[in-house]
Amino acid sequence: MRTFLTITLLFLTCMLNAQTAERPNVLFIFLDDFGWKDTSYMGSDFYETPNLDKLASEGMIFTDAYSASANCAPARASLLSGQYTPRHEVYNVGTGPRGKAAHRRLNHIPGTDTLRPDIQTWAHRIQKAGYKTATMGKWHLSDDPKPYGFDVNVGGTHSGGPPNGYYPPHGKAPNLQDVPKDEFVTTTLSKRAASFITENKENPWFLYLTMFAVHTPIQAKKDLVAKYEAKTPGELHDNVKMATMIQAVDDGVGLIVAKLDELGLTKKTAIVFFSDNGGYGPGTDMDPLKGYKGTYYEGGIREPFFVKWPGKVEAGTKNETPIIGVDLYPTFLEMTGATADENQPQDGVSLVSSFKGDALPERSIFWHFPAYLQSYGGAGPFEQRDPLFRSRPVGAVRNGDWKLLEFFESGDLELYNLKVDIGEANNLAAENPEKTKELLDIMKSWRESTNAPVPSEKNPQFEADAEKKAIEAAIGKTKGGGKKKKKSQKKGVPLSWLINLSIRLSTNGRQ
């Protein structure tokens, strides 16, 4: 009997050790305001990302990867919780109204600016599975990320941008005090990442490398300025400061990959690359996508994404399946052998089977933004619905090749077939009422299931004439010219459409 028990225990121990040995380390590179076309491998003609390009070529590139929100805080809350915005209620950056009161027709839904501490993040679950967890860079969801499942925090606070810019001093940002005076913070984070990996080379680790780059301020890495000032501008991209910031990210990734090679961890480490929302409108372009950070057109929510996982993901592969930020929660749990909290709702699906080439079940993916986000300003051309707001209260759904947006102020609907119209130039809502109703019913049913609040209360400070004049003034600036239009800017919203919108908003809708 004792012999049988001994053999059984040895067998179980061997099985457990084998399972543990199969669990990869995970390097999750999560960039800030980094656009769909901001890497060379996705098509930039000015920015240089050889290290990211190489990693992407060694894994699987997802062409239709989406953030769960068009701006920072809600995207990150959805990422960490695995839940769409109505569940965690982080709808915007901050809870106050955005834009001029006289231009907002409805009272927004404030939500919260902090991820509820009762929510179990994937970091909690992975930490409990025996991994050493670290977050380095932007956190943005509370004052301190460590109670959310992280053993190590470098730089993470409630702030949405880099502490005092990209060069030191970095104030009270955790573990960013002892920094060489001329060291770019992107470089500092990359070095801290390499040190963390070295310190934990004998143990499983998960590193959430959540770079501040390329969030504002758009601040050049000084030693790279001359290189890009001398470079011929591209038709799509030509921003010198942005180019130096992007190269700093890529150089940092190269430093970390070299450390993995040095430690013999390359084959034991999965690398995932993603961004929190669309690129910064005044600084980059996602052409042929319309929109940028803050809009719920493709340019505001579609992101670069790849996974390199040696032995699991075939190199040089591409996947066109629509995926979204909430999918990373169950994906990371499956990759690390962690278990979910059965009492916590999850909105995503694990992508591990798709990493191996299998098809995901057909489904819809959703966005819910019951708030306002003001325009960048300037003379356009505008890749947003009107020149005053990058987004007014809106809901959106993608189902297959089709995408529907519902604007809560007016009830307007926009339907696009992304397979043939990736730039969302041809609204098919009127000519395809059956598909419009199908997607609207899907979205309404989802809103009901998640208790998603739809703003309906009139804003007493709204002034129709002030709104109309402001739209017309912005249109006048666009007519006046401004910067010479690049090839990528020809998709701006037509002036005639903006004029019609101004008339329509002043005469119908819920006001």
Residues 346-401 pLDDT 10s? 999 999 999 999 999 999 999 999 999 999 987 677 899 999 999 999 999 999 99
509 Rama sector, left if φ>0, alpha if ψ -120 to 50, beta otherwise: left
pTM summary value: 0.92
| CATH (residue range 24-83+119-361) | 3.40.720.10
Question: What residue ranges do the domains of the chain occupy?
Answer: 24-83+119-361, 367-507
Token pair recorded at residue 7: 């053999």
For the 367-507 domain, the top CATH level (class) is: alpha beta
The pLDDT of residue 237 is 98
Q: What is the identity of the amino acid at 15?
A: M
132-137 and 323-324 strand pairing: unpaired
Residue 426 to residue 184: CA distance in whole angstroms:
43
The pLDDT of residue 7 is 46
Token pair recorded at residue 102: 């006289």
The pLDDT of residue 489 is 47
- Residue ranges of the chain whose pLDDT lies below 50: 4-19, 481-485, 487-490, 495-497, 506-511
The pLDDT of residue 483 is 43
The pLDDT of residue 477 is 74
Q: What share of the chain is helix, strand, coil (3-state, %, to 5)?
A: 35, 15, 50
Segment 327-352, tens digit of pLDDT: 999 999 999 999 999 999 999 999 99
130 Rama sector, left if φ>0, alpha if ψ -120 to 50, beta otherwise: left
The pLDDT of residue 411 is 97
Helix (H, G, I), strand (E, B) or coil at 298: helix
The pLDDT of residue 22 is 82
